[in-house]
Amino acid sequence: MKNDSGMQVQKYHVNDLPSATSEVPKHLQGKKPAVFLDYDGCLSPIVQDPDKAVLSEEMRSTLKRLAEVCSVAVVSGRDRANVKDLVQLDNIYYAGSHGFDISGPDDMHTEPGGAAAAIPALDKAQEELKERLQDVQGLFIERKRYAIAVHYRNVAEDQVPKVLEVVKQVISEHEALKPGPGKMIMELKPNLDWHKGKAVLWLMEKLELNKPDIVPLYIGDDLTDEDAFATLQGQGIGVMVGEHGQQTAASYQLEDVAAVQDFLEAIIQTLKP
C-alpha cells in the first residue's frame, strides 16, 4: 500500500510503538506542529451513547490554548455542526463527515470531495436500513449529512452478523456508497477518493502550512484515522490513541484521552516563547 505521496506505507503493532509524550517533543525543536485530532476516543472517551461524548472543560481549555500557538483542527466522522457544538471553540478548524465538510475561523466553510452527489443514495439507503433492521434491539442508525453510521455497540452479540450482512447488502445496491468500518460501527460513505488524510492535506495547503518549519501531527484512535496516519508517513507524525485491534500506520502511541491532554499540554509548553 502506498500513500498519496507514492511512499510505501509501513504498518506497526501499537504495542511496539514508542510513547508520543516522551518522543514527539524532540522532533518539534525549532519547529511548530499543525495539530489534527479525531474527537471520539481522543478528545472525549468512547461512550455507549454518542450524544453523551461531552468534552471536558479542562480539555476545552487545553485546545483553546493550543490553538493560540499553532493551527488546530478536529477531523471527525461526526457531522461538522455536531462536533463544533461539542467543542465550542471559534479559533480552531472543523472537518466533519471524514473531511467532506470543513469550516473554520473568518467564516471559512467549504465542502471539498464532491460528496453532495451521494446524498440521494444516502437517503435511499437510510430508508432501506431502517426497514430491514427495525427489529434489532439496541441498534442506532445515525444519519449524517454525508454518511450513515450504523452503531451496533448495544446490539446482542448473536444479532451483530445480521446487522453487518444487511449493511453489506445495502451498500452493494448503491454504487455511490462504500463501507467505512470502525469501533462497533459500520458507516455508509460516499464512494469517492476522499478521506481524513486528504482532508488534512487540503487544510495544510489552504492554510499555507506546507513549510519546512511546520510538522503536521495527527492524533486518532479508530480505523478511519488510518488514512491520515498513512498519508502523513514521511511528511508528518501519526499518533495512535489506545488500539483498534489491527496494525497501524501511526508511529507513536498514547494510552487514552487523559494521555492526549497531557501530550497537548507538553506541546504548549514546548511552543511557549
pLDDT tens track for 239-250: 999 988 789 999
What is the distance between the alpha carbons of residues 94 and 61, in angstroms, rounded to a whole number? 17
| Cβ atoms of 218 and 236 closer than 8 Å | yes
Dump pLDDT digits (tens) for 132-173: 999 999 999 999 989 999 999 999 999 999 999 999 999 999
Question: pTM for the whole thing?
Answer: 0.88
Verify whether residue 38 is a known catalytic residue. Answer: yes
Per annotation, catalytic residue among 4, 16, 38, 221: 38
Confidence at 271, pLDDT banded by 50, 70, 90: confident
Residue 84 C-alpha from the chain's centroid: 14
Residue 115 vs residues 98, 101, 179, 184, 246: alpha-carbon distances, Å: 11, 9, 14, 24, 28
- E-strand stretches of the chain: 32-37, 72-75, 93-96, 101-104, 108-110, 140-143, 148-151, 177-182, 185-190, 214-220, 237-241, 252-254
Residues 173-191, mean pLDDT to the nearest whole number: 93
What are the structural domains, with CATH classification, of the chain? Answer: 14-113+194-271 (3.40.50.1000), 115-190 (3.30.70.1020)
Distance linking the first and last C-alpha atoms of the chain: 41
What is the distance between the alpha carbons of residues 129 and 124, in angstroms, rounded to a whole number? 9
Dump pLDDT digits (tens) for 34-84: 999 999 999 999 888 888 899 999 999 999 999 999 999 999 999 999 999
